[in-house]
Structure 1
Amino acid sequence: MDLNRRPLRIVLMRHGQSEANVDPTVFERVPDHAIPLTAAGHEQTAAAGTTLRKLLDEQPVRVYVSPYRRTLQTLAGLGIDDLVETARQEPRLREQDWANYQDSADIARQRTLRDSYGHFFYRFNDGESGADVYDRVSTFLETLHRDWDVAHSPRNILIVSHGLTMRLFCMRWFHWSVDFFESLSNPDNAEFRTLLRQPDYRYKLDRPFRQWATYEPTARERSAWL
């Protein structure tokens, strides 16, 4: 592989505020994949688009987006269509599956179980564990590498997905431990994390994820960000 073909930056973005972020009982009557953005979510997305355009330096970008309604609306609301070389819906970047129509009381019970069992390994009834999402993100990385090893591929990558998926992408990319992953919080709605190519062609995050639990990252884990 020609190292110069590696993208200059890989931008990870969480969708804007969705109706389920405001009212979790929405899951009882609307399929997860069909939940839309709120009005505030659309406003967040528009503001994020202004920031993103500057970050991309007005250069072309290749986009991979979760096929969920809220992520597709987020991409559409960024206002960067003129920069998008191609946009591909990528099911492997979808949200962690928790069930179909959810029973709020049961999900609350399972959240408590997950806290004691471990967020990475706990599998929701009729759904996925964090480890399952990690596995499908791992296969997506193979596609990502193949795509950018093509002549004249854009030097910018944008991935529009979900908070947990973003953390697991970075866990897989930087080979973080399960304990470190468990200590991290999801980014806020419409928030970015950017992997920036360094002079040695490796990547570093522009800033770390926030930590909600006490865990001291190893030197290797800390080396993932600038």
Structure 2
Amino acid sequence: MARPHRIVLVRHGESQGNADDTVYERTPDHALALTERGRGQAEELGSELRELFDRERVSVYVSPYRRTHETLRIIGLDKDRVRIREEPRLREQDWGNWQDREDVRLQKEYREAYGHFFYRFAQGESGADVYDRVDAFLESLHRSFQDPNHPPNVLIVTHGLTMRLFCMRWFHWTVAEFEALANPGNGEKRILELGADGRYALDRPFEYWRRPESYGAVTG
């Protein structure tokens, strides 16, 4: 098994929806483009990643959304050293077709009170649903490591919630721990680095927006 030296998780640059939530009323979520600021974030990220990967090969997985594809294109990795696969299981949490701004804002308030992991948008997914498809993706990813010629790097270009859920599944965080974490900013990355002990560790933690709740340990 050829496990990669590092797995890099990247959140797309700022999109039209991050800058103006009324755009969801007239443009599908998957079709939102990067803003000028978002393109600048992707360019800065590209400089960091090209230096990080140097001349090593990279296996790339990208969410099928326009903003993630644009981020990857602007990152500008050497095409001769990358293998790119579009991966629908890494898409954003589905909120359900066209979105009414006021309804979405109300549902976000409900989600804050109910919990990001379990709350299901009326016509979309819960965080738990996204967790399940991330889990399925990880099974495929681990199988790919059986290839003795697997690249030493994996790059995943995706969304903030999906990044948190990826790490939750990988590191076996509890729901309470997940709920306490904030999304990374647009154009931010987190790196899972393979240590001498054969385990992966995050290069830096996610920020906390509140203290994790504790429901007590289950024994027996």
Is 1:171–2:134 an aligned residue pair?
no
Equivalence for 1:208: 205
Once the two structures are TM-superposed, the CA of residue 161 in structure 1 deviates from its matched residue by 0.1
**Corresponding residue number in structure 2 for 1:111:** 108
Amino acid of the structure 1 residue aligned with 2:97: N
**Is the CA contact (8 Å cut-off) linking 1:94 and 1:165 kept in structure 2?**
yes
| Distance across 1 between alignment mates of 2:118 and 2:124 | 12
* Cα distance in 1, alignment partners of residues 81 and 127 from structure 2: 30
Q: Given the alignment of the two structures, is residue 52 of structure 1 paired with residue 49 of structure 2, yes or no?
A: yes
| Secondary structure, counterpart of 1:213 in structure 2 | coil
Structure 2: which 5+ residue stretches go unaligned?
Answer: 215-220
Q: Which residue of 2 aligns with 1:138?
A: 135
Deviations 1:45-78 (A, max 9, x none): 0111010111113311000000000000000000
2:83 corresponds to: 86
Going from structure 1 to structure 2, the CA distance change for 1:28 and 1:46 (only over 3 Å counts) comes to same
Q: Indicate conservation of the 8 Å contact 2:63/2:90, yes or no.
A: yes
Q: TM-score when scaled to structure 2?
A: 0.94
TM-score by length of 1: 0.92
CA contact (8 A) 2:62 2:90 kept: yes
Partner of 2:93: helix, strand, or coil? coil
AA of the residue aligned to 1:99: G
- Conserved 8 A contact 2:192-2:201: yes
Local SS of the residue matching 1:134: helix
**Corresponding residue for residue 31 of structure 1:** 28
1:121 aligns with 2:118: yes
**Displacement of 1:83:** 5.5
Counterpart contact for 1:63–1:84, Cα < 8 Å: no
Aligned counterpart for 2:195 among listed residues 182, 194, 198: 198
Identity %: 58
Give the Cα separation in 2 of the matches to 1:158 and 1:83: 15
CA deviations on 1:143-177 (whole Å, 9 max, x unpaired) are 10111210211010000000000000000000000
Indicate conservation of the 8 Å contact 2:193/2:201, yes or no: yes
Matching residue of 1:74: 71
The root-mean-square deviation of aligned C-alpha atoms, in Å, is: 1.2
Structure 1: 5+ residue stretches without partners: 218-226
